Structure 1
Amino acid sequence: MTPVRTLIAIATLAVVSATTTQAATLAEIQKTGVFRVGTEGTYPPFTYHDASGKLTGFDVAIARAIGARLGVKVAFLEGRWDGLIAGIDADRYDAVINEVGITPARKKKYDFSQPYIASKAALIVRSDDTAIKDFSDLEGKTAAQSLSSNYGAIATRNGATLTGTDGFAQSIALVLQHRADATVNDSLSYLDFKKHKPDAPVKLVATLPNADYSGVLIAKNQPELLAAINEALDAMKADGTYLKISQAYFGEDVSK
């Protein structure tokens, strides 16, 4: 008969084995010829589907340009924001490219490329709302947010109760439907939204002064992959590729 202690040890080892994975190295990615990128596909203008159903957006273009410089094909794997980063832990992705904010908490567990986009947190409300003029006015209000996003944390810090959403489009929809009072979201997303829907009855009432920076998120202990991604970003900025992508989606350089 196998001792109970041994059975427990075997069970524990099985759990560890099931939850511990080894991220693909740069050499392995180049050998397979595929760079697996996690992204939402529901967050315009960064990652979304156009009228034909094709995945497109600023981050999608950046990912494809990185892949080209790594000499591999980019395979996009779409998922909800709240589970994207966990996909790195499960070795589902080699990277997440989805305007992931570079934060101290995330840097403890993951590595980031150099920043490739800068944005500001914007407070967005209905056009007829006169009560919310600044972030401090969110006290006691409801904010439509992706629950684990930086923007959700800003809303919470200012006293808002969060209503969970899948991304910017749903957040705006809930505000327009009077199911939320406001959303704290990306200023660039708002500008893109108003460019396509100038008559939408929402307005931007405040932005935070400091820019937030986003980078390509990868697993820890992948120095060759990290260096290759940074070299690709440098090359894109040097040869004008980055500026061309930036102007296509925002009309200006959004790297700083």
Structure 2
Amino acid sequence: MTDHIFDNGLAGYGLGGVSANDSPRAVRAWRHLRWGLCALSFCAIPAFYAELTVPTAFALNLSRTLYLGIFAGFALSFTWLAHLSRRPKTLLANNWLDLTIALGAAFSIGFGTPPWQPVEWLLRLSFMGLVALRIVLSLRGFFAPNRLMWLLLAGALVLAMAGAGFYWLEPRVHSYAEGLWLAFESSATVGYGDIAPTTPASRVFAAFVVLLGYGMLSLVFASIAAVFIGKEERALRREMHRDIKRLNDEIARMHAELKALRQTLDGPAHRRDPDASSVTRADD
């Protein structure tokens, strides 16, 4: 069992959080900061698309302001955590993904205006991929498979936002309903081919919808399966307990019968022993 206050197994992904053995003040601070950092991660999505799809001075300034907010939020949070932590180097090493996102946001503030060169496309897509990975991993602990209603609500919200995104980004999508259909196709990885992303912005958006939507749908279906499996497991557990109780009763009854049989066999032996001793004394 991990000793990091984030989620089981996430230290290997660069989201180790704060160790439970660290300073209590650092642990308490992380419990409040981790959801704020997750919310800041979402700001990278409108920043990316505002810069990509609306090439105006206002959109560029808005995008860079959002990147600045991401960098400032991550930098200040980990500076404060490092100040509170007993092992700041270990803390920073266990959260290298957040530090990489902060660094990527810092570079996005002052570099690049569309149209982007191939190298910048690669760097920005890598940055957005890391942001998407962080969002999915950080939400994994909250949307546990046993929270079916929360998962259904979150899945519906993801599809609703993805449908709006496709309606905004894809010229071939002429209504919000078509945007929802394309979002469902992408999330379920069906790909009927009736509607397909055609612009670079919508194709990049489709990649993120596949990653996030497929993950959410997988959790929903896993949670539904867990409900039925849980019922069967509880029935099997009750049946196993009944069998164990029945077996214990049979063992107790066998012990009682064995004890009674032993007493029955020992009775004549005790009666024969005095006779044998009297015969021995008479011979003497």
TM-score relative to the length of structure 1: 0.29
Greater per-residue strand proportion = 1
The higher relative CO (CA closer than 8 Å, separation ≥ 6) is in: 1
Who wins on radius of gyration, i.e. which is larger? 2
TM-score relative to the length of structure 2: 0.27
